[in-house]
Structure 1
Amino acid sequence: MGMKNQKAQSAMEYLMTYGWAILIIAIVLAALFSLGIFSSSSFTGTTCIASSGFLCSSPVWTSGTLHVTLGQSTGTSWTGVSFFFVPSGVADPTTAAQVTSANYVIASLSPSTTDLSSGQTVSADFTLNGTSQPTGADFSTAPGTSASGTIWVVYNTPSASGLLSQIATTTLKES
Structure 2
Amino acid sequence: MYKKFYKSHKSQAALEFLTTYAWAFLVILITVGALYYFGVFDFAKFLPQRCLFTSQFECIDFSFVKDPSLSTGEIRLRLNNNIGETINMVSFEVTNDAVDPLSCSFLPLPISDWQQGIEQDIVFSGCSNGVFITGERTEAKITMKYCSPATSGCPKHTVNGKITAIVNEP
TM category (shorter chain) comes to 0.5 to 0.7
How many angstroms apart in 2 are the aligned matches of 1:107 and 1:15?
67
Deviation at 1:35, TM superposition (A): 4.3
User: Which residue of 1 is the match for residue 75 of structure 2?
Assistant: 66
Letter in 1 for 2:144: W
**Structure-2 residue corresponding to 1:105:** 105
Contact 1:83 1:154 in 2 (8 A): yes
- Contact 2:63 2:76 (C-alpha < 8 Å) held by counterparts: yes
* 1:39-118 → structure 2 map (5 Å cutoff): 47-56=50-59, 58-63=61-66, 64-74=73-83, 76-81=84-89, 84-88=92-96, 105-106=105-106, 114-117=113-116
Deviation at 1:168, TM superposition (A): 0.9
1:68-120 Cα shifts (integer Å, max 9, x gaps) = 2322323x22243466233248xxxxxxxxxxxxx972267xxx984231x44
> Is residue 174 of structure 1 aligned with residue 151 of structure 2?
no
Match of 1:15 in 2: 18
State the 1:8 CA deviation: 2.2
CA distance in 1, matches of 2:56, 2:139: 25
Tell me how far apart the structure 2 counterparts of residues 21 and 169 of structure 1 sit (CA, whole Å). 45
TM-score of the superposed pair, with normalisation by structure 1: 0.59
Report the residue type matching 1:169 in the other structure: K
SS at match of 2:114: coil
Q: Is the 8 A contact 1:84 1:107 kept in 2?
A: no
Structure of higher CA gyration radius: 2
SS of match in other structure, 2:51:
strand
* Structure 2 runs not aligned, ≥5 long: 67-72, 98-102
Q: CA deviation at 1:154?
A: 2.4
Measured after TM superposition, the shift of residue 163 of structure 1 is 2.7
Alignment-mate amino acid for residue 142 of structure 1:
I
Matches within 5 A, 1:150-161: 150-160=142-152, 161=154
Matched, 1:142 2:142: no
Equivalent pairs counted in the alignment come to 149
Identity of aligned residues (%): 19
Where do 5+ consecutive residues of structure 1 fail to align?
90-102, 130-137
Give the 3-state SS of the residue equivalent to 1:174 in structure 2.
strand
User: What is the alpha-carbon distance in structure 2 between the residues aligned to residue 27 and residue 60 of structure 1?
Assistant: 38
Please tell me whether the aligned partners of residues 50 and 165 of structure 2 are also in contact (alpha carbons under 8 angstroms): yes
The 3 A distance-change label for structure 1 pair 120 and 6 is: farther
